[in-house]
Structure formats: structure tokens, C-alpha cells
Amino acid sequence: MQEIFGKHRQDLNEVRRLCLICHGLDLTSDKLFSDSTYNNSSEATKVAFQNLVSGTLLNLAVSIRINIYQGIFQEHERCHLTHCGFYYDDEKLVGKDFTIKDVCDKIIHAESISKEALPPELLRGAKVVMQLKGTHQGRRWTLDLSIELFTEAVLNYLDDIETNHA
């Protein structure tokens, strides 16, 4: 017999592709639901969009985790993400540096995700964050995360991996 599949495989281009999709969806959500000609958005469109965003984000997190487990992201613990999120543990703000792995763990284990559409005049260049919520060992947690900044950090990390291992 000939083996067709061996082990889970997500090459860096797949991670990059998912980053680009998530980045675009994040930017699209800010515009589509608050500053576009589509101003009477239906509930069905919002649900479909949320499914697309959460599914793609989950695929990205799993793809990154596969690369961590297989040793491709060898220096992932050294890659600290700046300005990617704020973390709350039982509503108490916990200031910490996030690694790519930390964020992926929260994405994978989140029980809910949400994002508010804000009018552009309120933003003034600020990044709208997605809020991920879950529980761990009976304690509630919340991660406010800019998908835009997270995916840019991952893309920078991928470029660094390929530059240093070429």
C-alpha cells in the first residue's frame, strides 16, 4: 500500500494566506458595517460574516499551532506581540507580553468572539479590537485583540523565519 497522507501539514504559505484573509476581513468589518453603502445590513449577512471571520481565525490559530508542534516556529516564544491585546482574568486587567502561541491558545479556546462596529469619526485612527472570551480552570478570561496587528506580527515573524533559514 502507498501512504497518501503522513502527518498534519501546514506550510508557511498556508499560514501567510490565512493571515492575509483574516487581516482583510478585520479591515472589511470596520468599513462594511459602519461606513459603507450597505447601511441596513441583514442579520443573515452579519451571521455569515461572523462565521467566516471566526472560522478563518480558528484555522489560522490551528495552522500556527501545527507549525509550533512540528518545530517550524522554533523561536516563537521570543516573538512578543506588542499592542496586540489586553488580557483580563475575572475582570482584573493582567498586563503581560503575548507570544504568538498565547494568542493562538486563546483563539482556539474562546467560547465567544465579538466585535463592535464603530462610526469612523469615533475611531480617529484607533484599532477596533475583537473580544475573545472563555474560561480556564473555573476563571473567566477576556482577550481584547486587534486581528490586524496580530496578523501583521505573524507575517513579520514568517518573513523573519524565511530570511534566517534560507
Q: Using one digit for the tens of pLDDT, what is the confidence trace for 65-115?
A: 988 888 877 765 666 676 677 777 777 777 777 888 889 999 999 999 988
Domain ranges of the chain: 12-164
Q: Which of 69, 97, 79, 60 is nearest to 164 (CA)?
A: 79
- Categorize the per-residue pLDDT at 3 as very low, low, confident or very high, splitting at 50, 70 and 90: confident
Residue 49 Rama label (left phi>0; alpha psi -120 to 50; beta): alpha
Helix, strand, coil: what percent of the chain each, to 5? 50, 15, 35
**Beta strand spans in the chain (E):** 80-81, 85-89, 92-94, 98-99, 112-114, 130-136, 139-145
pLDDT of residue 17: 96
Rounded Cα distance, 91 and 120, in Å: 28
Rounded Cα distance, 140 and 21, in Å: 29
| pLDDT tens digit sequence for 103-149 | 999 999 999 998 876 555 655 555 668 889 999 888 888 888 889 98
Sequence length of the chain is 166
- pTM for the predicted model, two decimal places: 0.83
pLDDT of residue 166: 57
